[in-house]
Structures are given as C-alpha cells and as structure tokens.
Amino acid sequence: MAGVRIDLTRVEERLAELAALHPLDGLGSCRLALTDDDRAGRDLLITWMGDLGLDVGIDAIGNIVGRWSAGADEPDLPPVMTGSHLDTVATGGRFDGALGVVAGLEVIEALAASGARTRRPVAVAAFTNEEGSRFAPDMMGSLVYVGGLALEVALDTVGIDGARVGHELDRIGYRGARPVPGPAPHAFVELHIEQGPVLEHEGVTIGAVTGVQGISWQELVVTGQSNHAGTTPMALRRDAGHAAVAIAAGVRELVSVVGGRQVGTVGRLHLEPNLVNVVAGRATMTVDLRNIDEAALREAEKRLSELVTEVAATERVEIASRSLARFEPVEFDERIVSLVESTATGRGLTSRRLASGAGHDAQMMARVCPTGMIFVPSRQGISHNPAEFTEPGHLRAGVEVLADVISTLAADPDPGPGRAGAR
C-alpha cells in the first residue's frame, strides 16, 4: 500500500514548535539531553502522541515510544518502529533528530486519517541522549534499549556539568516504568537529515543509507607543570598546552597517513589555568576518530596511541586517556536499503546509496532487528548549527518515502522476509 498522503504543514509547524522552546539565531534550537529544554520537548511529544491516541510508554532510561495499534489487523505483533531523538547539541538546528520523530507521528497520523489498515502496529520512538554532548556515550538511550549498555552504568553517567543521568531523569520526570532492554520491533527505519554535503552536491533527493561509520571517542588529560611564562626557560618547561596542540596537529597527520575514508577531529580543548602569562599545567581534550572500515579505524587508534606516548616523552608530561565511546561500523539490512531506493523511484524521486558519517540511533537498533535509514539533503551540508536547513520539498519527499516504506514493512508476512537479515 504505497502513496500515503502526508501533511507537510503539520510537520513544519511541529518542528517550529519544538524549536521555539529554546530558539537560537536563525532556525536554531537548544535542547541538551535531560535539561529543562529537553523536558519541554518531551512534554510536547507526549501531548501529540496523546492527541493521536497512541499507547505511550516511557522506559527506565527515558526513551519514549508511542504505539499505534488501532489500524493494525494483528495488533499484538511486534511493530514496525520509526523515530529518532529530540535532544540537540548546544548550538543545534531544528531538523537533526526532531525530523525523524515528527515524521513518525506524521506517518501514523496520515495512515489513520486515510483509514488505512496495516497488518502490524506502527511505533514511533524518541530516544534519550542521542547527541552525547552532555553525557557520553552518544546514542545512549537506543544503546540501553537494545541491551548494549547496562542501565545502572547509563544512570550513573556524569555529564560535563557534573550532573548524573539518573538524577536528571528523575528531576525532569522521565524515568519511566518500562523495562530495558526493550522488545525488538519487526523492523526499524529512521528518517534523518544527511548532515553532510553529498546529496545536495549531486542534486539527489533521497539517500538510501547503507550503514554507519565506526566511531572512536577518547578524552586525553595532559598533566604538566603550571609555571611563570616569563621566568621559566623553554628547556625546563613541562607545557600541557604545547603537548595538547602537538597531539591535535598529529591527529590531522595520522588521518592523512591512514587515508581512505578516515576522519579525525579534536573538538574540545581546555587549558588550565587558561591565563595569558602562565604555562598551562593541565590540558583536557577529546579526539574523535571515524571510519567505515573497522581495520582502518583500529590502525588510526594505534597511531594515536603511539603519538600520545611520543608527545608525553618529548614534553615530559603525563597523559591519561579514557574511551568515551567506541562503536564498530554498522551495515544496514539490504532489503530495507533496496526498499528505500525502489520507493523513492516509485515516487519519481532521485536517490543514491551512501554511508552515514554521523552516528544514529538506527545503528543501535540494527543489533536487534532489520534496520535502515532515509536521508534528505542538508543545505551546504551544515548541521549541529542553527543554520541547519532542509528545503520543504525535501522534507516532504523524506516523510513520504518513510510512510511508504513503513506501510510496506507493516504488511510483511510473519516472520517476514526482513527477518532473514536479522542479527
């Protein structure tokens, strides 16, 4: 049953309503995970789900799942699930994450309005703390949902502001009763903005996402000796700032040596005491390494470790490293990837296959059910930025393809061809 008609205005209005909770310049928005802003976004979602008559459940890590069974001929079957996240980075846009959640609501609303019957129920999820900006690791809610991270460990996680996940969940009233790990859906499909320039550059509307890059996040703490900037001879310094910058430069170099699709970023660097006339005694920094190829990613990690050892010896500083997140590359279900392509073609839309450079909740769901993702273009590839923008026509295309893909999967016989791809 293809050709679901969606209401683009409703989608845009809901995205605007979410963004208006804590607006930033332009179209931007800030909803850091488990803050009052995040709570306000969650409250809106709960209201929308209630208006739609969904069966709403909140689990022990705060994931919100709304299930629509009213149109299902076999309401007790595992649902086809869609969704994404409502949290943003501190300088977020209005589409990253929110689009996937709002689109899921829209698909259900459109199906309900058309009087459509599906075989299976359809569910829409908003996962807790996907961004990882306040609490590491990122994709925390979906990881706990699939049993990849113990609930107690997640609840005990301390954020960059000293807050604890469990405490913040209680504070905003979103520590739910549903147990984790949660039940595996029949399939999971997430609509998301590309957050990269490929689709726009090639003039293609729909990305059929084949998988997600592996991610390795490390935090390095460099300890040297804080001292007077004028009286300390260069040869006697143990300069944590200099060591940190040498590592940052070395990361750029090792990325080019590993080559291929390797990327590397030093995104956070904090010096102490951070004063103009004092040699830094301490530096805290992060290194983000990603690759679609696991062996190459390991090579990059090995080279980083060698670099750190070398810099520590040269500058006579101590460097402690700690893993903040480590995920292997993920391949999505071939049948769903093809289904996204053929659905786009059926709608008269251009499409291409591509791998995701960013992490997504879908990569966690891929551990428990056949999974895929749909990308729509990001203007100039910009995201994690208030300037993030996706054209209305592309939003419409993405939600329509999502609706058709969900309709098709919801009609699957039992156990369903998609099950062949289950891991």
Least gap, CB of 171 to Zn ion (angstroms): 24
Q: Which is nearer to Zn ion, 97 or 196 (CB)?
A: 97
The total number of residues written for the chain in this structure = 423
Supply the minimum distance, in Å, between the C-beta of residue 25 and Zn ion: 20
Q: Closer to Zn ion by CB, 28 or 97: give it.
A: 97
Residue 88 CB, shortest distance to Zn ion, in Å, is: 8
> Nearest CA to 92 among 375, 383, 380?
383
Shortest distance (Å) from residue 96 CB to Zn ion: 4
Closest to Zn ion by CB, 101 or 111: 101
Q: Which CA distances in Å does 65 have to 141, 229, 271, 321, 368?
A: 12, 56, 42, 36, 16
84 vs 226 by CB, closer to Zn ion: 84
Angle at 195 between CA 153 and CA 392, to 5 degrees: 120
Which of the 8 DSSP states describes residue 59? B
Q: In this complex, which beta carbon is closest to Zn ion, that of residue 96 or of residue 194?
A: 96
Min separation Cβ 361 and Zn ion, Å: 8
Q: Enumerate the β-bridge partners of residue 298.
A: none
Q: Exposed (0-12), middle (13-18) or buried (19+): which is 161, by Cβ within 10 Å?
A: exposed
Cα gap 329→397, rounded to integer Å: 27
SS3 337: helix
Write b or e for each residue in 367-404: b if 16 or more Cβ atoms lie within 10 A of its Cβ, otherwise e. Answer: bbbbbbbbbbbbeebbbbbbbbbbeeebbbbbbbbbbb
The CB-of-133 to Zn ion minimum distance in angstroms stands at 11
Question: How far is residue 376's CA from residue 355's CA, in Å, rounded to a whole number?
Answer: 13
Cis peptide before 377 (omega within 30 of 0): no
Q: Residue 61 Cβ, how far from Zn ion at the closest point, in Å?
A: 17
Smallest separation (angstroms) from Zn ion to the CB of 146:
17
Phi/psi for 371 (5° steps) reads -140, 150
- 197 close to 354: Cβ distance less than 8 angstroms: no
C-alpha to C-alpha distance for 362 and 207, rounded to whole angstroms = 15
- State the minimum distance, in angstroms, from the CB of residue 318 to Zn ion: 36
User: By the criterion CB under 5 A, which residues form the site for Zn ion?
Assistant: 96-97
Q: What are 279's strand-pairing partners? A: 227
By beta-carbon distance, which residue lies closest to Zn ion?
Answer: 97
